[in-house]
Amino acid sequence: MSSSSQHFSNPAYAIETRIVQAPKDPTGSVVPPIYLSASFNQPGYEVSGEYGYQRSNNPTRATAEAALANVEGAEFALTYATGMAATAAALEIVRPGQTVIFCDQVYGGTYVLAEQILARRGVTIVYADDLNEWTAADMPANLGAILIESPTNPGLRVLDIEHAASLAHGAGAYLFVDNTFCTAYLQRPLELGADAVIYSATKYLGGHSDVLAGVVLANDPALYDHFKLVQREMGNPLSPFDSYSLLRGLKTLAIRMDRAQENTVRIRAFLESHPAIATVYYPGWYSPREAQIHARQSSGDGAVLTFEVADDVDLAVFRENLRLINYAVSLGSVETLLSHPATMTHEDITDEERARTGISERMLRLSVGIEAADDIMGDLDTALQEAVKDVPALGNF
């Protein structure tokens, strides 16, 4: 097992402290060095050292994995080249003839992985319209795994992680939770019964739109062995430089999330009061029950809002008049990012499937950054005024 299984700091430390810490380098360097070597000299004939070939193990990657495991409170962490590689590694444990249940409004890349790779491999795919309402009697035979997001992307529905774990384990299956939107700073699925947590670390963990990375974390040694085998033999580990970039970005996770959430509270109120906005989605919007679930299992709402513009808003004109906000795919960065799920994150999903899961053409997803909230709201307001000429400026944010 790699050094990611070793807890190097006091687990009694607050998560804000654990986020900043990384394993101490033996040289005393405060910043962990980047080991770029593809190969490592071995100590002797038929004697293998801890590191031999970069695809199998790398000191910089091991440091990043140990830091991530420490933040999550997990025994093991393994990092991959992308978030989708991490998701694929987790689902590689499902065998042909088994079934995987996904939450209804799953990320578009996960949907494509399910429909075009898992299904072709003989895995049955089931989408749960509302897993919170499912019981043990609803579980299909030969279930291999349940994979959920909470909140979901992009509709921000909330799923009860403890309930999902009970359903999975009662059927002899695994529960995997994509925790990208919340991170361990707000929500810790392993403590709620999940078998593994998945991240696109490109998002909040890295936080600066400059690294592609994925992470899978677990407490079960057998799952670790599986995830490690996939990382090594399918050849998709995180590179040393990206491991360093992830470590550097991780250190500011708490203060970035705090600032982005503060902004999100104000921006949500602004959007809800704006005459050009039809609907605003946030964790708990769907029902009092989902709001209660979210309050129980998470310590914050995160910094993603989804909204639908009114019918008389010209989306093209709105986009053209954004000056501060980046119109770009992805989320979780220091910069505010606005995306159009129907043509960006979920463009490979059929029109029928998007309609069924509520992803409309007028839906936009806003990942709130750490800029001044007044400037973000001002940019949205100005662009909306241009898109609908008779919408008054709200001002005085």
Pairing, β 363-367 against β 277-281 = unpaired
Pairing, β 277-281 against β 304-309 = antiparallel
For residue 361, give the DSSP letter. T
Largest Cα span, the chain:
79
Q: Are 80 and 236 in contact (CB under 8 A)?
A: yes
Of residues 104, 160, 178, 195, which has the active-site annotation? 178
Residue 225 to residue 84: CA distance in whole angstroms: 19
> Facing residues of 304 across strands?
367
Q: Are 2 and 57 in contact (CB under 8 A)?
A: yes
Structure tokens at 264: 């999100």
Q: Which of 90, 114, 113, 89 is nearest to 101 (CA)?
A: 114
Residues in contact with 390: Cβ distance below 8 Å, sequence separation at least 6, in sequence order: none
Q: Which of 211, 187, 206, 207 is nearest to 197 (CA)?
A: 187
Residues in contact with 17: Cβ distance below 8 Å, sequence separation at least 6, in sequence order: 9
> Facing residues of 244 across strands?
none
Of residues 55, 232, 319, 362, which has the active-site annotation? 55
Q: Is 337 helix (H, G, I), strand (E, B) or coil?
A: strand
Q: Is 55 a catalytic residue?
A: yes
Residue 358 to residue 343: CA distance in whole angstroms: 14
> Helices in the chain by DSSP H: which ranges?
15-20, 59-72, 83-91, 108-113, 161-170, 183-186, 221-233, 240-250, 253-273, 288-297, 315-320, 351-356, 373-387
Pairing, β 363-367 against β 304-309 = antiparallel
Q: Are 359 and 342 in contact (CB under 8 A)?
A: yes
Q: Is 389 a catalytic residue?
A: no
Of residues 61, 203, 259, 354, which has the active-site annotation? 203
Of residues 18, 80, 104, 107, which has the active-site annotation? 107
Q: Is 362 a catalytic residue?
A: no
| 178 φ/ψ angles, rounded to the nearest 5 degrees | -80, 110
Structure tokens at 334: 């220091």
Give the active site residues.
55, 107, 178, 203
